[in-house]
Amino acid sequence: MTVVRHSAPGRVNLIGEHTDYNQGFALPIALPARTVVTFAPSDSAEMTVHSDRAQAPERFPLDTTPGAVTGWAAYVAGVIWALRRAGHQVPGGTLTISGGVEMGAGLASSAALECAVLGALLRAGGLRLDPMEQARIAHRAENEYVGAPTGLMDQLAILFAQPRRAQLIDFCHLTLRPVTFDPDAHGVTLLLINSHATHRHAGGEYAERRASCERAATALGAASLRDVQHRGEAALAEVADPGAARRARHVLTENRRVLDTVEALQANDFAAAGRLFTASHTSMRDDFEITTGHIDLIAEAATDAGALGARMTGGGFGGCVIALVPAPRRAAVEAEVRRRVGEAGYREPTITHITAGDGPGDRATP
């Protein structure tokens, strides 16, 4: 049987955080960095998985069930479990993972791994599944096998990615619309500032935010916050629990900002997009309370030094900040971020210029 290779990128969400499980909007792009999976199928009823980030391989039967495999290999086992549950045959063999997407950085390394493994298994089995179905299978692996209550954004962002495009995702109607995103063509640079402070989503904070949003929706007699989007923030006066009301305010205002960002990008108005980024960060800091002092400092330093706007990207509690920067200000922004982070005693960040990359495929490099 022939060896196959499949790779999937990480994602950077431009704006629209914690909106996916509230049936709202988000606007992600794919990263150039990719997780690469090589699969050598065999007649075995087992899967052996090697990773360049783990010392020892993991081995488990193809009929694995939730709870049997934990840690990083659970994402792999979960994909196999979800594929089989959807009625597809999965061959056994040896999977080798080399991860180009940093873990715990808010760049969807888990979804990149799921999508790369899924693509390799489909390729080896000669199976074709449309990207929406692939997203559902990868998402089910994460929710039901791994047990992380995440939304569908990461899988959709990865599977539908296109170069120089962001995807406007409507999670209520499950539709995606490509939006041109090529700031470099307009003298603007998108910087990815990795704090190297890692988070863990399976942890309680993410689930707690999700539960607060659900409480707010229930208090308003709605199935999801999306159902009250048209009423605006005024609707939240009816939510008695002030904590839940603040979480919901983030979601409602963030949905608006996503749509406003799309308009700004369509008009090539990066200054307006930058202001929306900064407003999103403020909302995540004050209403949703998912930033950290370290992340706030990076975002502030970037805007103080001339970025058009900056915001944390991803689930929160660490990870990365993105900043839209006029190209001539790039060096000054980088220097100021490094200076302020160093002065505060945090770890030196990694700062890279990124562009919107391509979706999954068989290549090993960007």
> Which is closer to ligand GLA, CB of 91 or CB of 99?
99
Query: Which of 95, 108 has the CB closer to ligand GLA?
Result: 108
Cα–Cα distance, 132 to 151 (Å, whole number): 14
| Residue 52: CA count within 13 A, CB half-sphere | 12
Task: Tell which positions 288-317 bind ligand GLA, by CB under 6 A.
Answer: 314-315
Regarding 154 and contact with ligand GLA (CB under 6 A), the answer is: yes
For position 285 contacting ligand GLA by CB under 6 A, the verdict is no
**62 versus 153: smaller Cβ distance to ligand GLA:** 153
* Distance from C-alpha of 148 to C-alpha of 320, rounded to nearest angstrom: 20
- 64, 82 contact by CB (below 8 A): no
Q: Is 336 in the site for ligand GLA (CB under 6 A)?
A: no
104 binds ligand GLA (CB under 6 A): no
Listed ranges 148-156, 185-193, 218-226, 302-310: which one lies at the site for ligand GLA (CB under 6 A): 148-156
- Nearer to ligand GLA among residue 19 and residue 278 (C-beta): 19
Catalytic residue among 130, 154, 260, 296: 154
Residue 18 beta carbon to ligand GLA: minimum distance, rounded to whole angstroms: 5
Between 9 and 151, name the residue whose CB sits nearer to ligand GLA: 151
Q: For the CB of residue 211, give the shortest distance to ligand GLA in the complex, in Å.
A: 13
- Comparing CB distances to ligand GLA, the nearer of 188 and 310 is 310
3-state DSSP of the chain = CCCEEEEEEEEEECCCCCCHHHCCEECEEEEEEEEEEEEEEECCCEEEEEECCCCCCEEEECCCCCCCCCCCHHHHHHHHHHHHHCCCCCCEEEEEEEECCCCCCCCCHHHHHHHHHHHHHHHHHCCCCCHHHHHHHHHHHHHHHHCCCCCCHHHHHHHCCCCCEEEEEECCCCEEEEEECCHHHHCEEEEEEECCCCCCCCCHHHHHHHHHHHHHHHHCCCCCHHHHHHHCHHHHHHCCCHHHHHHHHHHHHHHHHHHHHHHHHHCCCHHHHHHHHHHHHHHHHHCCCCCCHHHHHHHHHHHHCCCCEEEEECCCCCCEEEEEEEHHHHHHHHHHHHHHHHHCCCCCCEEEEECCCCCCECCCCC
Give the interface segment with ligand GLA, choosing from 14-22, 116-124, 190-198, 265-273 (CB under 6 A): 14-22
Span interacting with ligand GLA, options 150-158, 229-237, 327-335, 352-360, rule CB under 6 A: 150-158
Interface positions, 63-92, toward ligand GLA (CB under 6 A): none
The answer to whether the beta carbons of residues 87 and 32 sit under 8 Å apart is no
58 touches ligand GLA by CB under 6 A: no
For the bound state, the minimum distance from the C-beta of residue 153 to ligand GLA, rounded and expressed in Å, comes to 4
Distance of alpha carbon 296 from alpha carbon 199, whole angstroms: 15
Closest contact distance (angstroms) between CB of 155 and ligand GLA is 8
Which residue is closest to ligand GLA by CB? 315
User: What is the rounded distance in angstroms from the CA atom of residue 358 to the CA atom of residue 11?
Assistant: 10
Number of residues that bind ligand GLA (CB under 6 A): 13
Whether residue 154 lies in the annotated active site: yes
In whole angstroms, the minimum distance from the beta carbon of 314 to ligand GLA comes to: 5
Query: Where does this chain touch ligand GLA (CB under 6 A) — which range of 16-24, 71-79, 120-128, 188-196?
Result: 16-24
17 makes contact with ligand GLA (CB under 6 A): yes
Least separation in angstroms between residue 198's CB and ligand GLA is: 13
What is the closest distance, in whole angstroms, from the C-beta atom of residue 210 to ligand GLA in the complex? Answer: 8
List residues near ligand GLA by CB under 6 A: 13, 17-18, 20-21, 108, 150-151, 153-154, 201, 314-315
